[in-house]
Structure 1
Amino acid sequence: MKPEFIKMALILGLLSCVGPFAIDMYLPAMPAMAEGFGVPVAASQLTLMSFFIAFGVCQLFYGPASDMFGRKPPLYFGLALFGITSVACAFAPSIEWLIALRFVQGVGAASVMSIPRAIIRDRYTGTEATRLMTTVMLVISISPMLAPLVGSALMAPFGWPAVFIAVAVAIAVSLVLTVTLLPETLKPADRVPFQFGAMMRAFATLFRDPGYMGLTLIGGMGMASFFAFLATASFLYTGHYGLTPTQFSLAFALNALGFFTSSQFAANLGERFGSVAVVKWAVGGFATGASLLCALFAAGFDSFPLLVGMLLVTNSFLGLVIPTSMVLSLDDHGPIAGTAAALGGTLQMVLGALAIAIVSRVFDGSPLPLLATIATCALIALALSVLTLRGAVRAAAQA
C-alpha cells in the first residue's frame, strides 16, 4: 500500500473510531450506572437510544454542510461539541440529564460518521474505495476489541463517569490529528453553494434510486442487528450468564473479531466475484446463521459457547455486507457524496435506534428476545437483497 493510502486509512479510521468508542467503552458501565441512579434497565438503555437518534438524524446536516464548506470545518464543529458534552456526561446529576446530554453528544458524534465516508469517495471509487473502507474498519476494530476492556479497567477504581473523561481525551487527540494531518479533499471549485431547493432535490434523487436505497437498507438492517446486541449484551452476559465486566468485555471483543477480520477480505472478494455478488452471498450467510441460532435457542439449547460461537460466524458475514454495501451505494453519487453518505448514515442509525427500542421493550434477561430481533433483521436484509440486487443495479455496480 502507498504511504498516503495508509495515512488516510489511519486518520479516517481513528476519526470513525471515536463514535463507536463512546458506545463500546460505555457498555460495561451500563448495569453499574443503572444501579447508581436507582433506575431500571430500560431507563439506562434510553441513554444509548438517545445517542443513536441524534447520531443518525444529525448526519443529514453534516453531509450537505461538508458539500458546501468542505470536509474539515464541519468536522471541527462536531468534534468540539462531542468533546465538551462528553465531559458534561461525566458529571450528570441524574439519569434524565444523562439522557439529554447523550443526545447532544450524539449531535457532535454524527460528524465522524458521514464525513469520513465522503472523504473516501472524494479520493477513490470501486474496489480501491472498498479497500480503503475495509482498512479504515481494521482501525475501527480497535474500539470493540479494546474499548470495553478499557471501560472496565477505568470503572473499577474511578466509577462509570471516568469512561466519559476517557472519551473526551480520545476526541481531543482526533481533533488534533484532523487539524494537523488530514488534508481537505473537497476543492473550493467542487463545493456546492447552499440552496435549500438543491438539497431537497439531492435527497429526492437518492430516495428515488432503488439501488442506493436497497443497498443502504441492507447495510442498515445489518447494523440494526448489531445495535440490538449492543443494547442488551452487557445485561445478558452479566445477568443471565454471570460474567464479570471484564469477562463481558473479552466475550464482546470475540464477537466483534469476526466482523472486522472478514471485512479485510471484502475488497479482494469484490475484485474476484463482483461486489454485488459478495453482498448477496454474505447476506444469505448472515440470514442463515442468525435464523439457525434463534431456532436452536427457541428449541431450548441455551449455551454460552454456542451463543458466542454462532454470533462470531454471523458477524463474519456482516463484515462483508456492511463495507461493500456502503461503497456500492455511493458509487453513482460522487457530486453529492456528502449528502448521500449522510442520508445513508441517518437511515442506518434510525434503524439501529428502532432496533434498540424494540429489543429494550421485549428483553426479559434471556437470550431469545435478542436472537429473535437479530434473525428478523437478517431476514429483512435477505428480502431486500433479492428485491434490489439484480438487473440494472447489478450492471451498474459491476461496471
Structure 2
Amino acid sequence: MSTETATRPASPPQTRRTRTARYALVLGGLTAFGPLSIDMYLPALPAMAGDLRTGDATLQLTLAAFVLGVGIGQLVLGPLSDAYGRRKPLLAGVAVFVVASVLCVVSPSVELLIAARVLQAFGAAAGMVISRAAVRDLFSGIAMARFFSMLMLVTGLAPILAPVLGGQLLALTSWRGIFGALAAFGALLLVVAAFALPETLPEHRRRPANPRAIVRGYARLLRDRVFVGYGLGLGLSFAAMFTYISASSFVLQTTYGLDPQEYGFVFGTGAVGLVLAGQVNGRLVGRVRQRTLLFVGLTGNAAGSFAVLVAALSGLGLEAVLPALFVAVASAGLVMPNATSLALNDHPEMAGSASALLGVLQFTVGGLTSPLAGLSGEKSALPMAMLMTLFGLLALVSVGVLARRRSSDQLPQVGLA
C-alpha cells in the first residue's frame, strides 16, 4: 500500500475507477504522440519522395531522426521531471511539439523536414517519458502492469487510426496536411493536459537536477542487470517493430501492390491485434507470472518475424506474409506492458530517469534500424524480414540471460495512490 493511501481514507471504488479512466485517457493521449508522429504519414512516403525529390532511403531518415530525437529527448526530460515535477516539463514539451509540427508543414526540403522532425521528437518525448513516470508515481506492481495493459487500449488506437487517417487525408490534401493534423492534435492535448492532469510527483520525492546526480542515477540503472535486461528486451523487440513500421509502406505498396488506403487498413489490423493482446495481458496479470507472459510475447514476435522471412525467401504472396506480420505485431501487446512494469518497479524513487533510459533503449535502437530497412529500396521484403527476425531473437536472449530476477518475479499488487 502506498504511503498516501495509508494516511487517508480510501477513495470510493467509483471515484477510483473514474480517476483511473481519466488518467488512462490523458496519459494514453500523451503516449500516442510517438505512434501518431511515426505512423500517420507512412502512407504518404512514396508521394513525399517525389514531391521532395529525394530517394526512399533518404526520406526514411525523417523516421530515423524522429526516433533518435525521441530517445535523446527522453534522456534529458526524464531527470528534469524527477527534479521539477511532471506538469511543467510536460506542458512545455507539448507546446514544442505543436510548433515543430507547423514547421514540418512548411518545410520546403527534406533537410529542413528532418530538422523539424528532430524538434518535433523532443516535444513528443516529453509526453512519452513523463506519462510513463506518472504511471509509476500512481501505481506499483501488478496494478502498474494492469494499468499499462489498459493504456494499450488507448495508445493502441493511435497506430490503428493513424495510417488509416493518413491514407484518407491523402485523398483530400497532401502530406503537409497530415502534419497540420498532428499540430491540431497537439494543441488539443495541450489544453486537456493543462486542465485534467494534476501533478503526480510531490516535492518531497523530487531529486536534484545537477549533472552529477543525473549521471550517478543513470550509472546506477545501468549497473542493474535486471533493469538492463528488460530494457534491452523492450528496445530490441521495438527494433523489430520499427523495422516493419519503416519498411512496410514501401514493401506492401510497391512490392505487393497495395494502394495507400489498403495499406492503412492492413497496418491497422496489426494494431488491432496489439490492442487485443494487451487486454488479454491485463486479465492474465496476477494469475500468470509476468515473465511467462513476457516470454510468450517475445517468442511470438520472433516466430512471426521468422515466418515473414520464410515467406520472403520462398516468394510467397500476401496470403503468407500478412498472417505472419500480424503475429509479430500483436505480440507487442504482451511485451510492452510487462517489460516496462518489470523494469520500472524496482526504481520508484527515480521513475523519470528509469522511464527515460527505457525510452532511449527503445527508440535509439529502433531509429538505427530505419536506414538498414531501406537499403533495398522497393525491391524486396527480405531485408525487412531478416532484421525483424534478428532483433526478435536478440530480444529473447537479452531477457533470458540478463533479466533473471534475484527473487520472485511476481510483483505485489498496489493500487492508485
TM-score (norm 2): 0.92
Given the alignment of the two structures, is residue 214 of structure 1 paired with residue 229 of structure 2, yes or no? yes
Counterpart of 1:47, as a letter, is T
Larger deviation, residues 160-169 vs 149-158:
149-158
Contact 2:226 2:405 in 1 (8 A): no
Q: Measure how far apart 1:313 and its partner are.
A: 1.5
Residues 6-15 or 284-293, more deviating: 284-293
2:102 partner amino acid: V
Give yes or no for the alignment of 1:336 onto 2:363: no
What is the CA-CA distance between 1:131 and the residue it aligns to? 1.3
- How many percent of aligned residue pairs carry the same amino acid? 35
1:312 corresponds to:
326
Q: Which moved more, 1:358-367 or 1:228-237?
A: 358-367
- Asked whether the 8 Å contact 1:21–1:147 carries over to 2, the reply is yes
Contact 1:71 1:119 in 2 (8 A): yes
**Pairing 1:268–2:283 present:** yes
Please tell me whether residue 357 in structure 1 is matched to residue 384 in structure 2. no
Structure 1 segment 75-90 matched on structure 2, within 5 A:
75-90=90-105
Residues 78-132 of structure 1: CA deviation (Å, up to 9, x unaligned): 1111100101111111111111111111111111111100000001011111111
**4+ long deviations beyond 3 Å:** 396-399
How many residues were matched structurally?
Answer: 397
Q: Distance in 1 between matches of 2:199 and 2:158?
A: 26
* Most deviating of 259-268 and 238-247: 259-268
Whole-Å separation in 2 of the counterparts to 1:53 and 1:314:
23
- Give the Cα–Cα distance (whole angstroms) in 1 for the partners of residues 177 and 170 of structure 2: 7
Which secondary structure does the structure 1 equivalent of 2:342 belong to? helix
Match of 1:97 among 112, 120, 143: 112
Q: 1:379 aligns with which of 379, 383, 393?
A: 393
Unaligned runs of 5+ residues in structure 2 are 1-15, 413-417
Distance apart, 1:397 and its partner CA: 5.2
- Give the one of 173, 176, 179 matched to 2:194: 179
Structure 1 SS opposite 2:199:
coil
Equivalent residue, structure 1, for 2:383: 369
Mapped contact 1:363–1:369 kept (Cα < 8 A): no
Contact 1:52 1:352 in 2 (8 A): yes
Query: 1:60-79 maps to which residues of 2 (within 5 A)?
Result: 60-79=75-94
Query: Quick one: which of 9, 27, 37 aligns to 2:52?
Result: 37
CA shift, 1:222, in A, is 1.0
C-alpha distance after superposition, 1:20-44 (max 9, x if no partner): 1111111111111111111111111
Aligned positions of 1:197-346 closer than 5 A: 197-298=212-313, 300-346=314-360
Q: Deviation at 1:295?
A: 2.4
Alpha-carbon separation, structure 1, partners of 2:405 and 2:120: 42
What's the CA shift string for 1:35-63, capped at 9, x where partnerless?
11111111110111111111111101110
User: Partner amino acid for 1:16?
Assistant: T
Q: Does 1:146 align with 2:196?
A: no
AA at the equivalent of 1:317: S
More helix by share: 1
CA contact (8 A) 2:157 2:271 kept: no
SS at match of 1:158: coil
Q: Alpha-carbon deviation of 1:177?
A: 0.9
Q: In 2, Cα distance between the equivalents of 1:120 and 1:391?
A: 22
For the pair 1:2 / 2:17, whether they are aligned, the reply is yes
- Counterparts of 1:89 and 1:164, CA distance in 2: 6
Instruction: State the distance in 2 between where 1:20 and 1:294 align.
Output: 25
- 2: CA distance between counterparts of 1:98 and 1:197? 35
| SS of residue matched to 2:190 | helix
Q: Deviations over 1:369-396 (max 9, x none)?
A: 101110001110111122024351x525
Q: Counterpart of 1:395?
A: 408
Using the TM superposition, name which of 199-208 and 133-142 deviates more: 133-142
Most deviating of 63-72 and 134-143: 134-143
- Cα distance, 1:354 vs structure 2: 1.1
Quote the RMSD (CA, aligned, Å): 1.5
Q: Deviations over 1:334-365 (max 9, x none)?
A: 00000000011011100001111221224453
Q: Which amino acid aligns with 2:281?
A: A
Residues 276 and 398 of structure 1 are in contact (CA less than 8 Å); yes or no, is this contact kept in structure 2? no
Which one-letter code corresponds to 1:381 in the other structure?
A
How many Å separate the matches in 1 of 2:339 and 2:84?
27
C-alpha distance in 1 between matches for 2:209 and 2:112? 35
In 1, the alpha carbon distance for the partners of 2:363 and 2:42 equals 18
The 2-side partners of 1:273 and 1:373 are apart by: 31
> What CA distance in whole angstroms lies between the structure 2 residues aligned with 1:267 and 1:210?
26
Q: Which runs of 5+ in 1 are unaligned?
A: none
- In structure 1, the residue corresponding to 2:201 is in which secondary structure? coil
Matched, 1:58 2:73: yes
Alpha-carbon distance between aligned partners in 2 of 1:316 and 1:96, rounded to the nearest angstrom? 34
